[in-house]
A and B are shown apart, each in its own frame.
Chain A
Amino acid sequence: MATQEKGRKFIVPIGPQHPALKEPGHFEFTVDGEIVTDATVRLGYVHRGIEKATESRSWVQNLYLLERICGICSHIHALAYCLGVEKLAGVTVPPRAQAVRVLVAELERIHSHLLWVGVAAHEAGFDTLFMYSWRDRETVMDLLEALTGNRVNYSANLLGGVKIDVTDEQSDAIWRGLDFLEDRTRHYLDITTSDSVFLRRTRGIGVTTPEQAKRLGLVGPTARASGIWHDLRVDAPYAGYADYPITMIVSDTGDLETRFVVRIKELFESYRVIRHILDTLPDGELVTRVPRRIKAGETISRVEAPRGELFYFIRSNGTDSPERIKVRTPTMCNMASVLALAVGHQLADMPMILVGVDPCFSCNDRTVVVDQGGARGGWTWEQLRQYGIDYYRRQP
């Protein structure tokens, strides 16, 4: 490949349709032989206009819409929205509801991290680990289904509380499931830190220093694997996390192996917290009354999604639907690190580095207008509509 004509770049495209990516995103890696010399990304293939859509729905309807931003971390989106709206409305959620929210959030984290272990192993060509971790993930999916009625989009939240309760039988089932999972997780930790062939693909690959992590604005387990002490469950406890404290897992090696280790160790932390909650679940109401119209005002709410900090900005004008909701998902923050790390690594490491941040494309897709003329400001609804009409007219 190095023998290509001089001056012409050799670009390997990954996506929007590619076996490495289960969601559409487009990456272009310029390679010299096997070494990547440049990388660019294009996102936005699955932009769904959810933020705009929230403005035409009521506060309650938005709960269901926002839960569908992400298929993996649906509960945490609804939770962030509920926390924000409850803060605006000035209601206090009963402690039992807060505990159940944490319970579901941690079960969701387990399923998300186990999913990631499988995907990352598959990208490295270690399909056996992929198959086994996904098989074991079914345990937590079954638990979530038994608890909420759904495998994904659990819809456990209500404005002002939760709509599910944890019975004794469900509690026993969760205990049994966690015992099994803890055993398996210990096995995965052992494999990912001792399998010499697998370590050749992860140890020392894609090293992100704490300085880099800070400069690129990394969040979540990706940042914690690079020595950044940042976990909202600890830094700014929300829902029930003040009563059920979490120990932050941080390591400052910053390579792909550390990302495995940090995420797997977070699983143990989740198991511990869930057991703690089941042991000491407070009695009481599950839901409190929230008015149909929310008082005018604006607020932010921040939660720790499985992939990192999830940020909601909510503004109400006193009617029964929000004036503006802005969502910043963790993948958006982490994506820059993929491009920064790619340069200098081998093409074979690209899928691992890309998946190392646990990307979720449909979460982070949004339209961005890059106006090189220097004009600032957004587009009006009319301009956007006209642009859409013109765009489709231009298509052959």
Chain B
Amino acid sequence: MSELLALLFFPAGLSLLAGGLVYEWVDRKLVARLQNRMGPRWYQPLADIVKLLAKEEVIPTGVNKLLFVGLPIAALAGALTSALYVPMFGLAPSFSFPGDLIVALYLLSLLTLCTGLAGSNTTNTFSLVGATRTLTQMFSYEAPFLLTLLGPALAAGTWQIGGIDAYAQNHLLLLTQPIGLLVALIGLMGKLELSPFDSPEAETEIVAGALTEYSGRGLALFRLGKNVELVIGLTLVASFYLGGLANPLEFLLKTGGLLLGLSLIQAVMTRLRIDQTVGMWWRYGALLVLAQWLLLIVTQGTVS
């Protein structure tokens, strides 16, 4: 019974969806203010979702209907499920087992994978280009992002998110692994396709990228999934690098601070081309993380 409650209402489920909408609004508002615009009103993300859910879902010709309808559901489900293993809102994770970090990270990648599949499922040119770019981008940021989140795990000596969080509360990993924090934050932006990593959905080239053919319910679910992933990603980074999440207040402050950082980067950056994105990740991102790892292994070896 309590599992069902956790899944449907708190900390996953409805409360997480609401949280995702709030975080989307904060992000949009911050970027808008940085760009000298007014930005949306607080209920705009909710209004968008309600409108999309009420709209007719047009299924284009030439697609596999089951995939077209099922992929958005899988994407959102994956994002919501991974929330169960993460200390959402500063509370202990609902479920926990040794090695749940890997499971949570793979569940998070499900959204990107579903977006790519959804794009290649249609016959739309923009969708196909977008899907190619989405998947190309995933292969570039995914490995460095995974490695940065394994850095704290290595330091804590456990691959259990709850355990790492507890360790981080006593050790500020921001100081010992500064590169990790930077790469994790930028990796999160790659995952969420935020500027400057928004070439998979570059509107001036390929309209809306992989999701061009989606309208109505499918688009709403994909957007909700992305919002949820924003919250989870911020929670993970804050928990691992900013000294853990002991209570809801810390959660709000730390994830809010990270969100401000994300908005700043988004506002000052130009969109990178997909080849530049890939080049940047493998040339700098991956090498930086590997250097960090080497340092970690050496120090761990000498300390213990």
Which A residues are closer than 8 A to B by beta carbons? 1, 10-14, 18-20, 31, 34, 121-128, 131-132, 135, 195, 197-198, 200-201, 346-351
A346 / chain B contacts, CB cutoff of 8 Å: 273, 275
Q: Report, as a range, how many residues of chain B touch the other chain.
A: 20 to 34
B205 / chain A contacts, CB cutoff of 8 Å: 14, 20, 347-348, 350-351
Known: A20-B204, A197-B272, A346-B275. A125 touches B125 (CB 8 A): no
Minimum C-beta distance from B271 to chain A (A)? 3
Minimum C-beta distance from B37 to chain A (A)? 6
A135 / chain B contacts, CB cutoff of 8 Å: 36
Which B residues are closer than 8 A to A by beta carbons? 34-37, 125-126, 128-129, 132, 195-196, 198-199, 202-207, 267-276
Known: A34-B274, A124-B271. A19 touches B207 (CB 8 A): yes
B268→A128 contact, CB < 8 A: yes
A122 / chain B contacts, CB cutoff of 8 Å: 204
Q: Which of A121, A125, A128, A198 contacts B202 (CB under 8 A)?
A: A125
B202→A348 contact, CB < 8 A: yes
A123→B204 contact, CB < 8 A: yes
B34 / chain A contacts, CB cutoff of 8 Å: 128
B270→A126 contact, CB < 8 A: yes
Residue of A nearest to B271 (CB): A125
A14 / chain B contacts, CB cutoff of 8 Å: 205
A126 / chain B contacts, CB cutoff of 8 Å: 269-271
Contacts A18-B207, A20-B205, A200-B270 known; list 5 others, CB within 8 Å. Answer: A12-B125, A20-B204, A31-B129, A125-B199, A128-B267
A132→B36 contact, CB < 8 A: yes
B206 / chain A contacts, CB cutoff of 8 Å: 12, 347
B275→A197 contact, CB < 8 A: no
Docked pose: A1 CA to B204 CA in angstroms: 20
Residue of A nearest to B34 (CB): A128
B271→A128 contact, CB < 8 A: no
Sample of 17 A–B contacts (CB below 8 Å) = A11-B125, A13-B125, A20-B203, A34-B274, A121-B270, A122-B204, A124-B271, A125-B204, A125-B270, A125-B271, A132-B35, A132-B36, A195-B270, A197-B272, A201-B273, A348-B199, A351-B205
A124→B270 contact, CB < 8 A: yes
Docked pose: A387 CA to B67 CA in angstroms: 47
Minimum C-beta distance from B252 to chain A (A)? 27
Docked pose: A122 CA to B203 CA in angstroms: 10
